[in-house]
Structure 1
Amino acid sequence: MNVADILTDGYARIQETVHAAVEGLEPDDLHTRLDDGANTIAWLVWHLTRVQDDHIADAAGTEQIWFAQDWESRFDLPLAEGATGYGHSSKQVEAVRVGSAELLLGYHDAVHERSLAFIRDLDGKALDRVVDEAWSPPVTLGVRLVSVLSDDLQHAGQAAFVRGVLERR
């Protein structure tokens, strides 16, 4: 197994967990908050997808799928252009409302496909390239890809948890 195979497997697990958490849900379920400060399934999946889109596009030197495929206008969210959900307040979490599970999964799948296309050609040496010098030490591509993988799996798991609670109600 090579680096690309390992990363492909990890990113596929994000997509599998996202689909399990979202498929078949109605908008009311996607927007349910377990308490006043909790994240919704819609926000969790939108956020993890936006972060993956933003970070992979930056590393690949490409435009984000959010803009390139006009997902921004399809979602029509009352948020700042380019928002990813990082540092969102409770009010901003509430503002992430989507019309359907299909819309949310469509965007996620488009980002997933682009991520795999980028990862597919990577080798071990590519992972040493510095992609963000704003940190100390600077962030390499390998660290960035694992960071996105870790963060996305955590948020996908949170979405799955919320769905599990909703199904028991």
Structure 2
Amino acid sequence: MNVNDLLTEAYGRLPDLVRGAVDGLTPEQLRTAPAEGANTVGWLVWHLTRVQDSHIADLLGEDQLYATGDWAPRFGRETDPSDTGYGHSAKDVAAVRPENTRALLDYYDAVHARTLAYLEGLKPGDLDRVVDEAWDPPVTLGVRLMSILDDDVQHAGQAAYARGLL
């Protein structure tokens, strides 16, 4: 198996996790925290998509889909590429208000398609390229792609758990 197939397989598991977390939920359920101060299902899926969108756009040297489309208003947000959910307080989490599951899935599907297209063009040697020298050791493309995947899988699992608590 080559690296493209492996990464595509790994990232290809995310859509089912995302759909399973939100399918059939009402807008109110998407916006309801299962406990005081907890993240909502809607916020978790919005956040995991924002992380993937922002990091893949950075790797491509292109604008985020969030910044170039009509996505932000569908979540009750202003279009701000730096707004990915990092550092959000409980009040900030509550302010992410997906209009419905379709908004979350449409945005996720657009980001996912872009990610898969990016992964298809990678060569094994690309994974060793340093993409962020602000860390010690510097972050390579392979490590960044695994970090994005790890973050998304964790948040998809959290969203599924939060859904169960509802």
**For this pair of structures, how many residues does the alignment match?**
166
Corresponding letter in the other structure for 1:85: G
Deviation at 1:48, TM superposition (A): 0.4
The 5-angstrom pairing of residues 53-92 of structure 1 reads 53-77=53-77, 81-92=81-92
Once the two structures are superposed, residues 57-103 of structure 1 have per-residue CA deviations (whole angstroms, 9 ceiling, x without a partner) of: 10111111111223124434158553000111111011111111001
Kept after mapping to 2: 8 A contact 1:21/1:160: yes
In structure 1, the gaps of 5 or more residues are none
The whole-number CA distance in structure 1 between the counterparts of 2:5 and 2:81 is 34
The whole-number CA distance in structure 2 between the counterparts of 1:149 and 1:34 is 25
Corresponding letter in the other structure for 1:41: V
TM-score normalized with structure 1 length: 0.93
* 1:148 alignment partner in structure 2: 148
Kept after mapping to 2: 8 A contact 1:78/1:95: no
TM-score normalized with structure 2 length: 0.95
* 2:24 alignment partner in structure 1: 24
Kept after mapping to 2: 8 A contact 1:79/1:92: no
Deviation at 1:113, TM superposition (A): 0.3
RMSD: 1.4
* 1:51 alignment partner in structure 2: 51
Kept after mapping to 2: 8 A contact 1:15/1:109: yes
Corresponding letter in the other structure for 2:20: A
Identity of aligned residues (%): 57
